[in-house]
Every structure is written in C-alpha cells, then in structure tokens.
C-alpha cells in the first residue's frame, strides 16, 4: 500500500517460508503447536507429547509454512506482478532466495530506465488475478481485507460482492494446510514453484497472462518456459477437472448479524450449515480462559466481539480459539463468529470480519447467551434467530462501551478506521 502511495519503481522481496518441523515422522508447523494445546487439554496427547510438538514446530526463520496469510499474500503479490517470479515459493533459507535478493537491483534499474511504476502493474485485472490465485490455493480469509485495502489505495473499485462472484467461479485445487497436509516448501520441491501453477491457470483461462510485471515482461512471458505441472506424480495441486472443491472456499455471508457482510473460509469438510446456541465473550482473552477451564459443548456458537477494527482496536486474529476447537476434535460440532479476523491457519466453521462491528452497534453486540445462530454457507447467510421486536428492545438498551484507547495514534485510528467490509482503511 505504501508502494502504491509513493508510486515509484519498486519490487517486493518476500522473506520466504519456514522449513517444516518434524515429530514422529510427520511434518508439523506453527498451527500444530496451537492445536496441540486443545489435544492436551482433552487428554488426546500427553504433556510430554505436547512439549515435543512445541519444541519442534518452528525449526528456523521464515513465514508460517502453510497457505496461511503470509504465503497467501506473497503468492497474490507474485501473480499481481509485484515480485520476481518464484519469490513466494522460495524457502527462507534457500540459495534461490539469496540469488533473488542479488538479482533485484538489476530489475530495479530496468524499472527506472523503462519508467514502469507500481500503478502500471497494480490494475483491476492484476488484482483479480490475485484473488483467483488466492482462492485456487485455499488462501487465508485475510486476503479479503488486504485486497480491499490495496484496491482502495490504488483507487480501483473492488467490493465484497465482486470477491464472492470470483469465488463462485474459481475452484479450490491446492491440498495445502490448513485445508490439507502440505506446506509451501512442498510447492517448491515437488511442483517447481508458484510460477508452475500460474502457468497452468493462464493456459486454462483462469488467470490473465497479459498483465505487466516488475520484470518488465508480462505475467505469461515470466512463466511460459517453466515446467508443466504433473498431476500423476503428486497430490498437492489437483487439476481443474478434479478439484478439491468446484468453487471457492471464501464465502461472503450476509444476514441480520452481518448486513454489511462477513467472511468465512468453508471448504465443505466441516459441513455447510451450522445451527447452535450462542456463548458470548467480549474479548478473546475471556474466550481463551473459557476454553482452558471448561469443556465446550457440542452445538455451541462461540461469539467473540468488541475485537473489530474500532473495538480492539486493530482487529486481532483468533488463532488460539479456533486452534483449540480443532485440537479438541470439535470442528464439526462447534462454530465461532467474530467481528475480529482469523489467522490464515484458522479453519473449521468460523466466520469473521462481521460488519458492522460490535463497537459500532452492530447486531453482534446484542447477542445473548443461548440465542440461536444459523450459519448457512450454501445461501451465504448469517442469522440471529430472534424476532425484530426483541432486536429493537435490545438496541434501545445497548450503551456503546468507551474506546479501549483514550489518546495517541490508536485513538485516532479507532475514530477514523472504516469497517472490515471496506478493508479497514482510514481514508
């Protein structure tokens, strides 16, 4: 976003993914350590196993290894043309990552000589390429926030509805964590890197290959000579004819709880419809204490509110509570909704970015324990099942809590920030 504002010749270098950990001959990563807590507290693993998983989850430097937020956005920025080819899939400790850093000044010089600016590269078409690749890879819900904010900064119109339309058309083909078992290092070593996937998607009409990139060439020119993907030798990336899911996992849900929209990452593995009784928390900390001290009942919808852009302030991610649910083996029996957001590692029946948020008087602020909530990923609905009379009564009684920060930058942010449905921008 700052590169767009400055609009000077620029290249983004991604730091690269962390290597996987290993425990009992199984690959593990950061999310493994979070989910291990739920397993330990429900006696699925011992304290000794828990400690070993924690010790081995993160063996070195780099971004979280699955198709979580960092790798999602790195892949998106690559297909948008703002990184050199392979930047998103080169591991953090690889020789290729060092060579990429050494090559970058040569391409910066080329951009300067040819007067190619970020706004020449970041266009509506390249942003759509980014959304499509992110959905094909099973990317983080945070791509919605970031894409909306990037588009707004570049004065390009983009809405939640447009993202949903793209998700309806684009299949999910990547068997990557948290949806599947594989990591970005497997894309590098077994597939040949993200450009191989980009080439496949261009050749099949999913992605536009004629967008300009920081190499000074088009996206297709960057990838045309890379190897073709081989579907017989691996099950990390599936073919478009045999996808994991025929349409995208990103679902934009509306309804009385989210009249301005909310974002879910639902693959169908956890089901498509969930109806349950609410248990309400006004902070993530209170929810985490509840998880650690009590057994969660099946058929519960955990509500974590006042953690939106204004209320938090800053919209923290809910990796701990979602990982606890998954680790406890309750992904199909417990749902979670929030006006906060999720880590890219979060999965299960979870809905975030609820707008308007609780701090702004959204309906999520009026939910009470035992209220019935319906999450419908088939019809893209998020509904509180109470009568309008009762909603009006509760609205009259609701008093907005004071902002958590009273001065300084975060106070100004709380007063200025837009809703998550507009990308949490402040202008």
Buried b (16+ CB within 10 A) or exposed e, 185-222: bbbbeebbbbbbbbbbbbeeebbbbebbbbbeebbbeb
Write down the residue that tokens 């953090």 correspond to.
92
Neighbour order of strands in the sheet with 261-265: 250-253, 261-265, 349-355, 334-338, 300-304, 273-281, 372-376, 381-384
**Contact present, 200 and 174 (Cβ < 8 Å):** no
The predicted pLDDT at position 193 comes to 98
Could you give the CA distance from residue 56 to residue 45 in angstroms, rounded to a whole number?
Answer: 15
pTM (predicted TM-score):
0.95
Could you give the CA distance from residue 374 to residue 380 in angstroms, rounded to a whole number?
Answer: 11
The predicted pLDDT at position 348 comes to 76
Could you give the CA distance from residue 186 to residue 173 in angstroms, rounded to a whole number?
Answer: 15
The predicted pLDDT at position 70 comes to 97
- Residue 279 Ramachandran class (φ > 0 left, ψ -120 to 50 alpha, else beta): beta
Name the phi and psi angles at 294, rounded to 5: -140, 160
**Contact present, 64 and 344 (Cβ < 8 Å):** yes
Query: What SS3 state is found at 29?
Result: coil
343 is annotated as an active-site residue: yes
**Contact present, 284 and 308 (Cβ < 8 Å):** no
Q: Bridge partners of 250?
A: 265
Residues 6+ apart with CB under 8 A from 286: none
Could you give the count of Cα atoms lying within 13 Å of 124 in the half-sphere of its Cβ?
A: 7
Q: Bridge partners of 337?
A: 303, 351
The predicted pLDDT at position 328 comes to 83
**Contact present, 314 and 349 (Cβ < 8 Å):** no
Query: Per residue of the chain (427 residues), what is the pLDDT tens digit?
Result: 999 999 999 999 999 999 999 999 999 999 899 888 888 888 899 999 999 999 999 999 999 999 999 999 999 999 999 999 999 999 999 999 999 999 999 999 999 999 999 999 999 999 999 999 999 999 999 999 999 999 999 999 999 999 999 999 999 999 999 989 999 999 999 999 999 999 999 999 999 999 999 999 999 999 999 999 999 999 999 999 999 999 999 999 999 999 999 999 887 777 789 999 999 999 999 999 998 887 788 999 999 999 999 999 999 998 888 888 888 888 889 999 999 999 877 777 899 999 999 999 999 999 999 999 999 999 999 999 999 999 999 999 999 999 999 999 999 999 999 999 999 999 7
- Beta strand 334-338 with 300-304 is parallel
Angle at 95 between CA 221 and CA 25, to 5 degrees: 110
The predicted pLDDT at position 268 comes to 75
Name the phi and psi angles at 334, rounded to 5: -135, 135
Structure tokens at 261: 């929209």
**Contact present, 45 and 31 (Cβ < 8 Å):** no
Contacts 24+ apart (CB under 8 A), 48-51: none
Write down the residue that tokens 């081989």 correspond to.
230
Angle at 128 between CA 126 and CA 131, to 5 degrees: 115
Angle at 138 between CA 337 and CA 87, to 5 degrees: 125
Structure tokens at 393: 């009564």
Could you give the CA distance from residue 278 to residue 97 in angstroms, rounded to a whole number?
Answer: 47
CATH number of 250-422: 3.50.30.80
Residues 6+ apart with CB under 8 A from 408: none
Residues of each domain in the chain carrying CATH 3.50.30.80: 250-422
The predicted pLDDT at position 263 comes to 97
Which one is catalytic: 262, 343, 346, 355?
343
In the chain, % helix, strand, coil (3-state, to 5) comes to: 40, 15, 45
């Amino acid at each position: 976003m700052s590169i767009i504002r400055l609009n000077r010749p620029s290249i983004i270098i991604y730091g690269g993914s962390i290597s996987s950990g290993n425990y009992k001959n199984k690959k593990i990563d950061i999310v493994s350590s979070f989910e291990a807590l739920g397993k330990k507290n429900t006696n699925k693993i011992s304290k000794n196993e828990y400690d070993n998983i924690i010790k081995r989850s993160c063996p070195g430097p780099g971004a979280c290894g699955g198709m979580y937020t960092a790798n999602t956005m790195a892949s998106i920025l690559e297909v948008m043309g703002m990184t050199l080819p392979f930047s998103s899939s080169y591991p953090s400790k690889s020789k290729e990552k060092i060579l990429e850093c050494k090559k970058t000044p040569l391409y910066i010089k080329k951009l300067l000589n040819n007067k190619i600016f970020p706004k020449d590269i970041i266009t509506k078409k390249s942003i759509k390429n980014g959304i499509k690749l992110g959905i094909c890879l099973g990317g983080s819900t945070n791509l919605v926030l970031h894409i909306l904010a990037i588009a707004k900064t570049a004065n390009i119109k983009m809405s939640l509805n447009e993202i949903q339309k793209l998700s309806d058309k684009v299949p999910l083909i990547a068997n990557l964590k948290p949806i599947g078992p594989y990591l970005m290092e497997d894309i590098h070593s077994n597939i040949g890197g993200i450009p191989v996937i980009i080439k496949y998607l261009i050749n099949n009409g999913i992605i536009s290959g004629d967008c300009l990139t920081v190499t000074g060439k088009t996206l297709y020119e960057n990838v045309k000579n890379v190897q073709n993907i081989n579907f017989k030798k691996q099950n990390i990336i599936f073919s478009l004819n045999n996808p994991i899911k025929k349409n995208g996992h990103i679902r934009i849900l509306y309804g009385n709880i989210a009249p301005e929209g909310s974002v879910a990452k639902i693959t169908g593995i956890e089901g498509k419809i969930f109806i349950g009784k609410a248990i309400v928390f006004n902070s993530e900390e209170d929810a985490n204490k509840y998880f650690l001290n009590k057994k969660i009942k099946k058929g519960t919808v955990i509500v974590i509110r006042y953690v939106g852009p204004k209320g938090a302030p800053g919209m923290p991610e809910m990796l701990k509570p979602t990982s606890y649910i998954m680790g406890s083996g309750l992904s199909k029996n417990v749902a979670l909704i929030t006006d906060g957001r999720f880590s890219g590692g979060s999965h299960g029946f979870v809905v975030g970015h609820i707008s308007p948020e609780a701090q702004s008087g959204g309906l999520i602020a009026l939910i009470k324990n035992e209220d019935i909530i319906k999450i419908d990923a088939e019809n893209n609905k998020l509904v509180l099942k109470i009568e309008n009379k009762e909603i009006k009564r509760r609205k009259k009684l609701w008093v907005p809590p004071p902002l958590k920060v009273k001065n300084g930058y975060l106070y100004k942010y709380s007063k200025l920030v837009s809703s998550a449905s507009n990308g949490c921008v402040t202008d």
